[in-house]
Amino acid sequence: MPRAYHVITFGCQMNVNDSDWLARSLEQRGFVSGELADADVVILNTCSVRDKPEQKVYSALGRVRQVTRGRASVLVVVAGCVAQQIGSGFFGRFPQVRLVVGSDGMAQAPDAIERLLDQPGMRLCLTDFSTSYPERDCALGGGQTPASAYVNIMQGCDNFCAYCIVPYTRGRQKSRRREAVLAECREALAHGTREITLLGQNVNSYGQDKCGDGTTFPRLLRDVAALPGLERLRFVTPHPKDISPDVIAAFGELPNLCPRLHLPLQAGSDRVLCRMGRKYDSAKFLRIVEDLRAARPDIALSTDLIVGFPGETEEDFQETLRVMREAGFMSSFSFCYSDRPGARAALFPDKIAPDVQQDRLSRLQALQDELGAAWLATRVGQQAVIMLEEASRKDAGEGESWQGRDIYGAAINVILPAGAGKPGLFLPVRITAAKKHSLNGEPAGNPS
């Protein structure tokens, strides 16, 4: 009987990418994917960015214990940012946990899993940070290469924004060598990938650390864009303070660079931005937006926002709403500020009461709904090409309902004849209606 693994992923695209890699790597070693109740290995890839996702990890471990009836033969692995943060602290509280894999330990995780399955009494904690980017075997290829692939270009962050735990959980910034990035992209493209998203906590400062090989981010972006067969290129996350004119210009010059940018604003008040240590002000942010629109007039922008940062007044909060309106974000991720261990702001004395935070968050999200609806409404009647992702449900008689994404990353739903859709196909559509967070379309050509 092949051994079964089950992965539960929390957090950002970097975790999603790490989990996908780990799954592929385990399958290459003969493991098969299975349900939680039947798994020999359960992997939780965790996020620590706010208190809530951290707490989710502890409740998930409780659920794992329940479903697997606490069987000692089940190997439970905790990976990712909470693993890095808590380390061997997991062993005492959760006896089923026998492997803790921090940010730089992922490359060794498949070997460690095999070893621990053979040695039931053993525990391992892989939380040391390495001094260079921890390369891992590619494990791409076969039938599993996704049409839309993530490719890491760096690990860690050196910015130490006052609220953020990431520099502690992911460690110092370590750029990956240009050749390694290009090799992984080429490999993915050779196996049918059509869209690549370059990943890093602060992609604009790619190459500017001691692991870098002198390649800058705009250089890397242009090199990846030039790879034959790449139809769509995206990247996350750029820090506004480091975005160079060359990256902005790329949006006007590279035909396969998608006109969509996730540019985290966090707050609109200059006083709050300064206390956050973000190193830009609202005027600089809006200048970047203007320059991006000059380079690529149809660019769609999304952002991250924090409400109720320590000391944030109602006037400060109003500034956030103002900048949101001026930037016209198509969507945003927004959260109440949450204290994180080790982050500077946890020691700031002027915390905002949870009910005030919540009230601001609701008002901010109401504005975002308005801005999102306005953006979606401009799309109705337009033509678009979507990359099909998955069939959302079967509609007997009428065909199948599929969802895909256009170049702006907007979700568009279409009905296709049964059997006509396939993940990764590009389909021309005409947009017929706007829904709350997505669009409806009808096929306007043949899939390719």
> Tokens standing for 351?
């915390």
- CA pseudo-torsion sign 97, 101, 106, 110: negative
Torsion of CA 76, 81, 85, 89, to 10 degrees: 0
Among 7, 31, 80, 233, binds ligand F3S (CB under 6 A): 80
DSSP 395-432: ETTTEEEEEEE-TT--EEEEEE-TT---TT-EEEEEEE
In the complex, least distance from residue 166 CB atom to ligand F3S, rounded to whole angstroms: 5
Residue 354 has a CB neighbour count (10 Å cut-off) of 10
Question: By C-beta, is 164 or 198 nearer to ligand SF4?
Answer: 164
Assess contact for 191 and 24: CB atoms under 8 A. no
Stretch that binds ligand F3S, among 44-52, 183-191, 356-364, 373-381 (CB under 6 A): 44-52
**Contact between 340 and ligand F3S (CB under 6 A)?**
no
* Whether residue 215 has a cis bond before it, omega within 30° of 0: no
Of 47, 64, 101, 189, the one binding ligand F3S (CB under 6 A) is: 47
Site map (CB under 6 A) of ligand F3S, residues 131-170, x = contact: -----------------------------------x--xx
Residue 264 is a binding residue for ligand SAH (CB under 6 A):
yes
Pick the closest to residue 361 from 324, 306, 411, 319 (CA basis): 306
306 is a contact residue toward ligand SF4 (CB under 6 A): no
Find the binder of ligand F3S among 17, 19, 48, 302 (CB under 6 A): 48
Phi, psi of 197 (to 5 degrees): -115, 120
Amino acid at 340: R
Q: Is 11 in the site for ligand F3S (CB under 6 A)?
A: yes
In a 10 Å sphere around its CB, with 0-12 CB exposed, 13-18 middle and 19+ buried, how is residue 389 labelled? middle
Contact flags string 286-305 toward ligand SAH, x per CB under 6 A: ------------------x-
The least distance separating ligand F3S from the CB of residue 129, rounded to whole angstroms, comes to 14
Name residue, tokens 């005030």. 356
CA 27, CA 41: separation in Å to the nearest integer? 12
Minimum CB separation from ligand F3S for residue 10, in Å? 7
Q: Reduced to 3 states, what is the DSSP secondary structure of residue 244?
A: coil
Chain residues 141-160 in contact with ligand SF4, contact rule CB under 6 A = 157, 159-160
Cα 142 from Cα 59, distance rounded (Å): 35
Residue with Cβ nearer ligand SAH (194 or 239): 239
From the list ligand F3S, ligand SAH, ligand SF4, none, partner contacted by residue 318 (C-beta under 5 to 8 A by kind): none
Among 193, 201, 320, 331, binds ligand SAH (CB under 6 A): 201
Q: Which of 129/335 has CB closer to ligand SAH? A: 335
From the list 4, 7, 26, 49, which residue makes contact with ligand F3S (rule: CB under 6 A)?
49
Length of the chain: 448
Tokens of 342: 């080790």
Residue nearer to ligand F3S on the CB measure, 169 or 368: 169
Q: Write b or e for each residue in 202-239: b if 16 or more Cβ atoms lie within 10 A of its Cβ, otherwise e.
A: bbbbbbbeebbeebbbbebbbebbeeeebbbbbbbbbb
Kindly identify the residues of this chain, within the stretch 42-61, that bind ligand SAH according to CB under 6 A: 49-50
Residues that bind ligand SF4 (CB under 6 A): 157, 159-161, 164, 166-167, 201-202, 239
Q: Which residues in this chain contact ligand SAH in the complex, by CB under 6 A? A: 49-50, 163-164, 166, 201-202, 237, 239, 264, 266, 304, 306, 335, 337-338, 340
Interface ranges with ligand F3S (CB under 6 A): 11-12, 14-15, 47-49, 80-81, 166, 169-170
